[in-house]
Chains A and B, each alone.
Chain A
Amino acid sequence: MVVPQGSLGTWDWKSIVGNMFPLLVVLSLIVLWAGVTLEAAEEGLETFAILAVMVPTMVDMGGNLGAILSSRLSTRFHLGTTELDPRDRVLWANVAAILALAATIFTALAIGAAAIDHVLFDATVGFGPLLLISLVSGMSVAVIAIVFSFAATYGSYRLGIDPDDTTIPIVTNVVDVFGMVIFIGVSRAVLGF
């Protein structure tokens, strides 16, 4: 098979697969840790069914927050509008917005979960503990997402790597793992299983 050279450039399927697949395998190995934590909490998930319902959101939301912040930071680096100066007040607006988004969305998660818990599982856990679990794990993940986003964007910028290509997937997956592990840990502590 003759592959047209040059015309397709980075759109050639072999170059896309060749660039991405090794990264996907590495990321899978990292996230596997989250999976082991999840399965080890099997008894808790059987007793408190609502925890299983919260799992996909806990896996994704930290990564979503990290992705929003990372892409904003990398755009600012590309535009040369920031030098990561702690006196840069726009950076603090970004951080504050991420924390506010986390507080809002994890409160909403607790409300949604409590409603499902009430309707389907006879309110086994109740709103109070769900809010505590959701907010403590959610806000911890948000802080981790912020720290990782800054470190990765700044680090890749310094090393001359485009943060859009590799660091954002890495940051979001690492934050996903923390989301899972922290969620199971906090649930264990609050519900005692």
Chain B
Amino acid sequence: MSVRRDFWSIYREALPILFVALGGGLFAGLVLEELVESIQRFPGLFVMIPVFLATRGNVYGALGGRIASGLHQGLIEPRFDWSDRLVNAVLASFINGIGISVVIGFLTWVVLEWVLRWEAVAALSELVGIMLVAGVLTSFVMIAGLLAIIFAGYRYGYDPDNLVGPIVTTLGDIFGMLFMLFAVLLVGAIL
């Protein structure tokens, strides 16, 4: 009897979150479909997309988890202020989020050009430029949005632990792809 109860409690807890993630994922997919034509212009672009999406989860999931623990332990207050802990956590996320984006552009170019020896790869400056623009814009929206939602949710009595996962996946997919599209258009126009 308890096995059946456990089964349903896990299923019921997780399903709404996964549906939110599914909705965000499908919207992000529509944006990604807009990018398919750009592969000709920037060969290697699609190699970076899963990596870019996956790192959003790593960097901002870690920030969300840290903020959630900090709230639980009473180490930080649920509002935007200049407390040392919040400033350090946010600064670290900017550095990690923007830094890894640039590294992804660089690694993709190195692997495609030197390891897999593809015939046509976009210029290093193009791949790094796209990742830099997308990484900077995403980090601002993700950090501000994540903190705003966690703080508001916490004040209204939601456990921040349950909010972080779905917020990061959904916001990360949607804004990650939107800013990637913007970055591709921008770099295509400039370089």
Contact = CB atoms under 8 A, between A and B. Distances in A.
A161 B28 CA distance: 35
Interface residues of B, number: 67
B10 A35 contact: no
Interface in A1-39: 4, 7-8, 11-13, 16-17, 20-21, 23-25, 27-29, 31-32, 34-36, 38-39
B85 A61 contact: no
Contact of A20 (B22, B51, B62, B84): B62
Given A11-B85, A32-B108, A49-B36, A38 B49 contact: yes
Contacts of A20: 58-59, 62, 92, 96
A173 interface: yes
B71 interface: no
**Contact residues of A: prevailing secondary structure:** helix
B158 interface: no
Given A53-B26, A55-B32, A32 B111 contact: yes
B3 A59 contact: no
A62 to B, nearest CB: 11
Interface string B133-171: 000000000000000000000000000000001000100
A17 B26 contact: no
A60 interface: yes
B100 A180 contact: no
A27 B58 contact: yes
Contacts of A25: 100, 103, 107
B11 A42 contact: no
B124 to A, nearest CB: 15
Interface string B13-25: 0110111011011
- Kindly name the residue among B6, B11, B29 whose own CB sees the greatest number of chain A CB atoms within 10 A: B29
A163 interface: no
Contact of A29 (B32, B44, B107): B107
Contacts of B173: 56, 60
Interface string B73-93: 001000000001100110110
Interface of B: 2-4, 6-8, 10-11, 14-15, 17-19, 21-22, 24-26, 28-30, 32-33, 36, 39, 43-51, 53-55, 57-59, 61-62, 65-66, 70, 75, 84-85, 88-89, 91-92, 95-96, 99-100, 103-104, 107-108, 111-112, 116, 165, 169, 173, 177
11 contacts: A20-B62, A24-B103, A28-B104, A32-B111, A36-B47, A39-B39, A42-B46, A63-B57, A93-B10, A104-B15, A173-B58
Interface of A: 4, 7-8, 11-13, 16-17, 20-21, 23-25, 27-29, 31-32, 34-36, 38-39, 42, 45-46, 49, 52-57, 59-61, 63-64, 67-68, 72, 89-90, 92-94, 96-98, 100-101, 104-105, 108-109, 112-113, 116, 120, 164, 169, 172-173, 176-177, 180
